[in-house]
Amino acid sequence: MYTEKVMEHFRNPRNMGDIPNADGVGTVGNPVCGDLMTIYIKVNDNRIEDIKFKTFGCGAAIATSSMITELARGKTLEEALKISRGDVADSLGGLPPIKMHCSNLAADGLHAAIQDYLKKKEAKK
Amino acid sequence: MTRRVYMDHSAGMPVDPRVLEAMMPYFNQKFGNPSSLHSWGNEARKAMEDARAKIVALVGAKKSEEMFFTSGGTESNNLAIKGVAYRHKDRGNHIVTTVIEHMSVMNPCKALLKEGFDVTYVPVDKYGVVDLPSLEKALTDKTILVSVMYANGEIGTIQQIREIGNLVHHRGALLHVDAVAAAGQVPINVEDENIDLMSISSNDMYGPRGVGALYVKTGTRIQPIIQGGGQERGLRSGTENIPAVVGIGKAAELTKAEMKTEGERLSRLRNKLIKGVLESIPSSFLNGHPTQRLPNNANVRFSYIEGESLILSLDMLGVACSSGSACTSKTLEPSHVLLAIGLKHEEAHGSLLFTLGRQNTEEDVDYVVKALPDIVKRLRAISPLTPKELLS
């Protein structure tokens, strides 16, 4: 059902965990639906210096979370905001159609974390 | 090479080699049509009636004329429900069923609802046992049919069919029992248990797929759904699938002969599996009834994680099982059975269903009990829902 790339990320998720003093935190999904993910980012000089995730969900949810951390790390915030759900799925060699909507939340999680960072930054001014 | 442990027998069973052997001649040697008058036809007809007698014996029916071959459990359930509804609609338009039935009962009832029938869904308790007072209250003068499963294939809970039959007959309605998950696993006697119609599947007792049977008690009138050449005394037309019919017959014979010893063996393995898992994994729970359950069914749930990732992780270690999680269903809805016993969505998502079978051994159970704690631990470490004290 899943590509080898999805399974590889499911078996060995990259950047799993949390960042205690994260600059931005984004949580998307809902345990009721079966998928919940939290993305933590550390921002330095407008770049995502560190990124980690925690995810409750299916294989696709865990693999997309892992993939987004690889895609976003080192990117500027503007570049990171451009990463789409489709980019995440493509980088994993595709997802089963039924999983495209429900479990492909990682891009949303990343964007939420960036918005959280921008909001906190705004509040500090 | 990793060990391979198949514990997903509710999803599909291997055909018993003895069943396969019995079927083989009927593909290309004894290939006659039972409706034919010549010796080829006679040979096929005899094989078919032998098979019918074996299923009749399995469920304690009185006569061979009470058993009809179908294409499987789904067709049997459709035929029973729609067949009774259409035949008896001048007597009443009310059907009673339960909230934990299989989709092949749920969806025909839903279809009948659209055609003007009324359907009442009786609730179950936290173990999945049908609430008898609610069932009794649901019955009206308009009730023509009550459909209750013998045992639930997902949580394993076995119903009090005899008592249900008493209530149903007291109000003059018919009782249909979906015994797809139960037939061959636990002793059933249609006479003693007040059953008017009962669905049986072949693959759920190590027979081939694509064949099943419907028991229809003498005197119970029912309208056919599939019309044609009048086979199965007009109730189910279509040239009989003799190899498959021979297969379900052989499967019924074997399962009857071995039910007691195999049931005890499976119960022992099941109890060991449940105990081993619950004792080694914190925040894990049993779904379904602790004792009134199918001998091969172990349904457990783990807080804070999701079933599909559990299945994938077990599959990497060669273990096959199922889950009630939405993420493993075609509809993206968690199992209606798990919700009906009062589980929250997130609890249903974390459920795993192990269904044991003839090939499973004590070593298989040990292997799963040993593998599961690390898998749960790893997924809990990834999950944002896991409380800190569980992570150490």
Which helix (H) or strand (E) is B67 found in, with range? strand B67-70
Q: Which residues of A touch B (CB under 8 A)?
A: 2, 7, 10-11, 13, 16, 18, 27, 31-38, 54-62, 98, 102-103
User: Is residue B275 classed exposed, middle or buried when 0-12, 13-18 and 19+ CB atoms within 10 A define those classes?
Assistant: middle
Mean pLDDT lowest for which of A29-33, B86-90, B216-220, B323-327? B323-327
Instruction: Show the domain range for A90.
Output: 4-124
DSSP code for B199: E
Q: Do A58 and B306 touch (CB under 8 A)?
A: yes
Question: Which CATH class for the B5-12+259-390 domain?
Answer: alpha beta
Which pLDDT score is estimated for A100? 84
What is the rounded distance in angstroms from the CA atom of residue B302 to the CA atom of residue B233?
50
Return the half-sphere exposure (C-beta side, CA atoms, 13 A cut-off) of residue B95.
31
pLDDT, tens digit, for every residue of B167-177? 999 999 999 99
Give this complex's ipTM.
Answer: 0.94
Q: Do A7 and B306 touch (CB under 8 A)?
A: no
Chain A to chain B Cβ contacts (< 8 Å): 71
Spatial neighbors of B290 by CB under 8 A, at least 6 apart, are B127
Which helix (H) or strand (E) is B146 found in, with range? strand B143-149
- Output the six-digit token pair for B25: 């001649």
CATH number at residue A94: 3.90.1010.10
Q: Helix, strand, or coil here: A113?
A: helix
What are the distances in angstroms from CA B69 to CA B8, B200, B274?
Answer: 26, 9, 36
- Output the six-digit token pair for B383: 């999950």
pLDDT above 90: residue A103: no
What is the rounded distance in angstroms from the CA atom of residue B56 to the CA atom of residue B34?
19
pLDDT above 80: residue B326: no
Long-range CB contacts (< 8 A, 24+ apart) of B1-4?
Answer: B2/B317, B2/B318, B3/B317, B3/B318, B3/B364, B3/B367, B4/B318
What are the distances in angstroms from CA A125 to CA A1, A41, A120, B151?
Answer: 49, 20, 9, 65
What are the distances in angstroms from CA B87 to CA A105, B91, B141, B175?
Answer: 51, 9, 16, 15
* Chain A positions in Cβ-Cβ contact with residue B345 (cut-off 8 Å): 31-34
What is the rounded distance in angstroms from the CA atom of residue B282 to the CA atom of residue B301?
11
Q: What would the mean pLDDT of B283-293 be, rounded to a whole number?
A: 98
Checking DSSP bridges between strand B212-216 and strand B67-70, what pairing results, if any? antiparallel
Q: Which residues of B touch A (CB under 8 A)?
A: 304-306, 308-309, 312, 316, 325-328, 330, 332, 334, 344-346, 349, 381-385
pLDDT above 90: residue B350: yes
What are the distances in angstroms from CA B1 to CA B86, B318, B319, B361, B374?
Answer: 56, 9, 13, 18, 20
Instruction: List the single best residue of A56, A62, A100, A102 to mutate versus B (max B Cβ within 10 A).
Output: A56
DSSP code for B281: S
pLDDT above 70: residue B328: no
What is the rounded distance in angstroms from the CA atom of residue B354 to the CA atom of residue B165?
30
How many other C-beta atoms lie within 10 A of the C-beta of residue B118?
14
Return the half-sphere exposure (C-beta side, CA atoms, 13 A cut-off) of residue A106.
34
Count: domains in chain A:
1
What is the rounded distance in angstroms from the CA atom of residue B28 to the CA atom of residue B33?
12
Which pLDDT score is estimated for B333? 80
What is the rounded distance in angstroms from the CA atom of residue B188 to the CA atom of residue B379?
41
pLDDT, tens digit, for every residue of B46-77? 999 999 999 999 999 999 999 999 999 999 99
Which helix (H) or strand (E) is A66 found in, with range? helix A59-72
Q: Quote the percentage of chain B above a pLDDT of 70.
A: 98
Numbers of helices and strands, H then E, in chain A:
6, 3
pLDDT above 90: residue B331: no
pLDDT above 80: residue B1: no
Selection from B159, B130, B150, B235 nearest residue B200 by Cα = B150
Which pLDDT score is estimated for B327? 67
- Output the six-digit token pair for B300: 């457990």
Spatial neighbors of B286 by CB under 8 A, at least 6 apart, are B274, B278, B298, B299, B300
pLDDT above 90: residue B332: no
Which pLDDT score is estimated for B325? 73
Measured in whole angstroms, how far is the alpha carbon of residue A96 from the centre of its chain? 19
Which residue of chain B is at minimal alpha-carbon distance from A65?
Answer: B382
Do A112 and A27 contact (CB within 8 A), yes or no?
Answer: yes
Which pLDDT score is estimated for B77? 98
Selection from A62, A60, A56, A18 nearest residue A40 by Cα = A18
Candidate CATH numbers 3.40.640.10, 2.60.40.10, 1.10.260.40, 1.10.3720.10; the one for domain B17-255:
3.40.640.10
Q: Where are the beta strands (DSSP E) in B152-296?
A: 174-178, 197-201, 212-216, 284-287
Q: Do A32 and B312 touch (CB under 8 A)?
A: no
Q: Do A11 and B309 touch (CB under 8 A)?
A: no
Which pLDDT score is estimated for A121? 92
Question: What is the average pLDDT value for chain A, to the nearest integer?
Answer: 94
Which pLDDT score is estimated for A102? 72
Which pLDDT score is estimated for A32? 82
Q: Helix, strand, or coil here: B373?
A: helix
Checking DSSP bridges between strand B143-149 and strand B174-178, what pairing results, if any? parallel
